Amino acid sequence: MDRGLAIVLTAVAGGLIALQAPINAELGKATGNIAAALVSFMIGTVALAAIVVLSGKAGGLGSTFDVSWYYLLGGLLGAIYVANALIAVSAIGAGGVAALTVAGQLAASVAIDRLGLFGLDEVPLTPERLLGVALLFAGTLLVVR
In contact, 110 and 128? CB cutoff 8 Å:
no
State the Cα–Cα distance between residues 82 and 40, nearest whole angstrom. Answer: 8
pLDDT digits (tens, 9 = 90+) for 113-125: 999 999 999 999 9
CB-based burial label for 142 (10 Å; 0-12, 13-18, 19+): exposed
> By the 8 A CB rule, do 88 and 21 touch?
yes
Over residues 1-47, the pLDDT tens digits come to 889 999 999 999 988 888 998 999 999 999 999 999 999 999 999 99
Q: Which residues have C-beta within 8 Å of that of residue 58, sequence separation ≥ 6?
A: 52
87 closest CA partner among 136, 142, 28, 39: 28
pTM of the model: 0.80
